[in-house]
Amino acid sequence: MSHEAKNVLEIIRVYLAAGPTEGLRRFLREVHYADLAEALPELNLAQQIKIIRMSEPNKAAAVLYELDRSEVVALLEGLGERRVALILREMSTDDAADLLGEMPREEQERFLSLMGTTEAEDVQELLVYEPDTAGGIMTTEYVAVKKDLTADEAINSLRATAPDAETVYYVYVIDRNNMLAGVVSLRELILSAPSTRVADIMRTEVVSVNVRTDQEEVARIVGKYDFLAVPVVDDERKLLGIVTVDDVLDVLEEEATEDILRLAHVEYEGRYFDASVLKRAGKRLPWLVVLLFGGLLAASVIANFSATLSAITALAFFMTVMAGGPGNLATQTLAVVVRGLATGEVSPRGVLVVITGEVGVAVLVGVVSGAIMAVVAYFWQGEAVLGFIVGVSLTASMIIAAVIGSFVPLIINRFGVDPALASGPFITTLMDVCSMLIYFSLATFFLHRYPI
Amino acid sequence: MSHEAKNVLEIIRVYLAAGPTEGLRRFLREVHYADLAEALPELNLAQQIKIIRMSEPNKAAAVLYELDRSEVVALLEGLGERRVALILREMSTDDAADLLGEMPREEQERFLSLMGTTEAEDVQELLVYEPDTAGGIMTTEYVAVKKDLTADEAINSLRATAPDAETVYYVYVIDRNNMLAGVVSLRELILSAPSTRVADIMRTEVVSVNVRTDQEEVARIVGKYDFLAVPVVDDERKLLGIVTVDDVLDVLEEEATEDILRLAHVEYEGRYFDASVLKRAGKRLPWLVVLLFGGLLAASVIANFSATLSAITALAFFMTVMAGGPGNLATQTLAVVVRGLATGEVSPRGVLVVITGEVGVAVLVGVVSGAIMAVVAYFWQGEAVLGFIVGVSLTASMIIAAVIGSFVPLIINRFGVDPALASGPFITTLMDVCSMLIYFSLATFFLHRYPI
């Protein structure tokens, strides 16, 4: 919990314990919804209901949206229908759709019936879109004016409609058929002469996204062009809604989390630590078992060389070094390539440049590491041949690690699959097999000729 | 390169080859700066200079800001002083400070002298702040009105000053001493009766950040409260500037990149793939060598048990499984904990809850994995004792992996150090030592009693 939320929780507890109701009501009017939402889950359900009841409906709406979905249903049940109806009407349509979208069908319909008819219809329309597309994260509360109004008429029309809109980011201009015709900023409207026609001051090259565009692409566009919002249109360029920058911030956080967890081979969506231990274990176990069987491949490679191994036990000493070094280099390569693809630093066209660069790095790093370990092996075990085998196979394995670590994410990205699916544990398990094969093949070859 | 930028590059090339100058000029007026900035580095310097010269100064300013700093200096030199002066004046002060901040002192001063005096002073003030603090990412072009104006007077004062401001996000209200007194939205100003005093409609609880606040904390606040901008104040609450949401998007991208690379133990700032192979190798080599020496610790553990190992060579077959499984579990645990700390899902106070939860996961996962591998070892090698040793030590190592993978990032976070510094390769190298110690200790103990 943030320190702001801790303070809020402290104050609420004091009020709940002894303070006058009016003081609490005043405090709830002043507190920021984000802090209140963070503090609320620390209270018991009865206290939560009391706090929400005493908050103004628009603040209550904002708080409910921030809470975990699993907690919201119980809270809504406890609040009673009249209060819920008040709160839902204060919610922006995209937030209401997000909230209701994760509820069972039956409760969804019950709560929808508590909203105003037009709002319920808007929300139902939003419920149709996939949650991770532009349609799923857009709001229908944007500000648009008709193309043939004057600046003055446009401002008046805004005065009439704007209070409904989340925030006035841009004023979109539409033609008679609701098709997106242009965009103008509130500032440009205000600074123009009152009789200027909107069509004359609007910019006509508007960047928009299709309603089915993936949310990652939407985030990329908003970030790249430094937009506060981007309009969402259907296939006929009819304006359906806008995606605002605060929703994009959420998408970016979600995607960064996904990338990191996927690299570590954890398949999880939503808040990981809220899930039960059993559920967390259930999600992680299958992959770990698959990787263990991958590890058995390396084991069977070693078993094939058991004659060599029983002849020179010292070979086993260096097995962890031989598996770890190339594994670490592969993990590094994978991370820089996956991140480079996510930020656009690596373009799909530059595959060859990236691979040759990373292999170049591995050659330098591999030769130095190999030389160091060769010297260590020689002085520790007093056998030049062993030093040679350790050094050469470490160098070779590291170069292969760079090829695998860069090639795998680039190739799967080319096929339109998220490169972060190329997980670190998967790559290092694969590298274990390669490293052991190289190490023991080289050992068998040389030790037959130059026995220790 | 994005597909939009590819199109832009294509069109520019056609114009440069044969097209009329006027057509190119018109195209440059319409193209978005972000696309132009992406396409520009693909052209040679002479072409780049031509394109920038033909672009309007404010677009040229936006493009230059997006380019890599290493490319900008040559471009500025080629443009000539008059054009550079025109462009620098169009730049917002925070962008100009960013750009000049990375130049050598001498060139910095030469370019500063080309700007207007007041702007140069503003930029010089910004150059004082650390780049990764609120002061380093703020802009001084915000909109503020005095507390005792009326709504009408305030709008008029905005009409006079606003064109200088990046975008009007919020209108800040200041008192006689320039101290931050409140905030009001442009919409509230417009919708109020003209004679209302600003002091009466402003909200007085303004969230602000100190000029020395770390940029990650600034990003957290903007993201949490869904702000479009946050005011920056000094220790006396005097308003110095604002940090806007587009700069926060950049910070978030930067921080996510840092987290991912640190988890993979790559210490790199800025654009990794722009650096030479030699430089990249130089940055990554030291860590890999340190980790190799860490791996030697595991090797020396194994060497201590060489008698056991030479008696039962089959023990070596399972070494990669025994190192890999717990290593993978530790990597997973580390990733979920580090990410949980970054998103605020894990709070520093909940250390014990997180560790016990993750250990619970590891007990379940460990017992299942251990049982599976025990059966595999038994059937493959036909030795019940070996199966038992493999199963028990795998289970034990996985539980320890969960403790280390959650404990290390939580502890270093507690000491105010970035938890992402607890890298995966470091943790897995440490785990190798633990796993080998458990495996061979158990093997020695049991095989003395129940020899195979």
CB A207 within 8 Å of CB A183: no
- Contact indicator for A409, A422 with CB cutoff of 8 Å: yes
C-alpha dihedral, B383 to B385 to B386 to B388, nearest 10°: 120
Q: Report the topology of domain B143-244.
A: CBS-domain (3.10.580)
Q: How many residues does chain A have?
A: 452
Contacts of A152 (CB under 8 A, 6+ apart): A194, A195
- Contact status of B11 with chain A (Cβ, < 8 Å): no
The 8-class DSSP code of residue B383 comes to -
**Which of B228, B274, B324 faces A432 most closely, judged by CB atoms?**
B324
Interface list for B 25-44 with A (CB within 8 A): 30, 32, 34
Residue type, B178: N
Nearest chain A alpha carbon to B402:
A281
- What is the distance between the alpha carbons of residues A325 and B293, in angstroms, rounded to a whole number? 10
Q: CB contact, 8 Å: A257 with chain B?
A: yes
Other CB atoms within a 10 A radius of the CB of residue A29 amount to: 11
Tell me the CA end-to-end span of chain B in Å, nearest whole number. 62
According to the model, what pLDDT value does residue B99 have? 83
Q: What is the per-residue pLDDT across A299-335, written as a single tens digit (0 to 9) for each? A: 999 989 988 888 888 899 999 999 999 999 998 898 8
CB contact under 8 A, B191 and A162: yes
Distance from CA of B204 to the nearest CA of A (A): 10
C-alpha pair distances (Å), B11 with each of B28, B40, B395: 10, 12, 62
- pLDDT tens digits for A26-56? 889 888 898 899 889 888 898 999 999 999 9
pTM above 0.80, yes or no: no
Token pair of B291 as six digits: 């980790």
Domain boundaries, chain A: 3-128, 143-244, 272-449
How many Cβ atoms are within 10 Å of A417's Cβ, its own excluded?
A: 12
Work out the angle at residue B33's Cα, subtended by the Cα atoms of residues B250 and A236, and round it to the nearest 5 degrees: 95
Question: Quick one: closest CA in A to B286, which residue?
Answer: A365
Mean pLDDT (chain A, rounded): 86
DSSP conformation class of A450: S
Q: In what order do the strands lie in the sheet with A239-244?
A: A209-210, A229-233, A239-244
Chain A residues within 8 A of B264 when measuring between CB atoms: 263, 331-332, 334-336, 424
Q: Does A204 touch chain B (CB under 8 A)?
A: no
Chain A residues in contact with B188 (beta carbon < 8 A): none
Tell me how far apart the alpha carbons of residues A304 and B380 are, in angstroms, rounded to a whole number: 13
C-alpha dihedral over A278, A284, A286, A287, to 10 degrees? -170
- Alpha-carbon span B339 to A257, nearest angstrom: 6
Residue of A nearest to B298 (CA): A320
CATH number of B272-449: 1.10.357.20
If you search the block for the tokens 């956080």, which residue do you land on?
Answer: A253
Give this complex's ipTM. Answer: 0.74
Q: How close B116 comes to chain A (CA, Å)?
A: 25
Orientation angle between helical segments B351-381 and B384-414, nearest 10 degrees: 160
Residue A106 distance to chain B (closest CA, Å): 30
Q: CA of B279: which chain A residue's CA is closest?
A: A361
Chain A residues inside the 8 Å CB shell of B187: 162, 167-168, 186
B291: contact with A, CB 8 A cutoff: yes
Strand residues in B320-443 grouped as ranges (E):
none
| Residue in chain B lying closest to A254 (CA) | B343
Query: Is B226 in CB contact (< 8 Å) with chain A?
Result: yes
Q: Please give chain B's pLDDT, 452 residues, in tens.
A: 677 888 888 888 888 887 678 888 988 988 889 889 988 988 889 899 999 999 999 899 989 988 877 778 888 888 888 888 888 888 888 888 888 887 888 888 888 888 878 888 888 888 888 888 999 889 887 888 999 999 888 888 877 765 555 456 688 999 998 999 999 887 778 778 888 899 999 988 889 999 999 888 898 888 888 888 899 999 999 999 999 888 888 888 888 888 888 888 777 666 777 778 888 888 888 888 888 888 889 999 998 998 888 888 889 999 999 999 999 999 889 888 888 887 777 776 677 888 899 999 999 999 999 999 999 999 998 888 999 999 999 999 999 999 999 988 888 887 777 777 677 888 888 999 999 999 999 999 988 887 76
Whether the CB of B157 is below 8 Å from some CB of chain A: the reply is: no
- Do the strands A180-184 and A171-174 form a parallel or antiparallel pair, or are they unpaired? antiparallel
Sheet of B229-233, strand order: B209-210, B229-233, B239-244
DSSP-derived secondary structure for B73-102:
HHHHHHH-HHHHHHHHHHS-HHHHHHHHHT
Contact B394, B446 (CB under 8 A): no
What lies within 8 Å, CB to CB, of A93 at 6+ separation is A119, A122, A123, A126, A139, A140, A141
First to last CA, chain A: 61
pLDDT beyond 90 at A374? yes
Q: pLDDT tens digit string along A94-124? A: 888 888 887 888 888 888 888 878 888 888 8
User: To the nearest 10°, the Cα dihedral for A332, A335, A341, A345?
Assistant: -60
* Gap between the Cα atoms of B347 and B357, Å rounded: 14
Q: How far is CA B343 from the centre of its chain?
A: 13
Query: In sequence order, what are the residues at sequence separation of 6 or more whose Cβ sits closer than 8 angstroms to the Cβ of residue B234?
Result: B210, B211, B240
B428 Cα to chain A: minimum distance (Å): 8
Q: Is B391 exposed, middle or buried (0-12, 13-18, 19+ CB in 10 A)?
A: buried
Q: Given an 8 Å threshold on Cβ–Cβ distance, is B365 in contact with A285?
A: yes
Residues 85-144 of A with CB under 8 A from B: none
The domain defined by A3-128 folds into MgtE N-terminal fold (1.25.60)
Q: Which residues of A142-158 are buried (b: 16+ CB within 10 A; e: fewer)?
A: bbbbbbebbbebbbebb
Task: Give A271's contacts in chain B (Cβ within 8 Å).
Answer: 345
B253:A163 CB<8 A: no
Same fold for the pair A3-128 and A143-244: no
Strand ranges across the sheet with A180-184:
A143-146, A171-174, A180-184
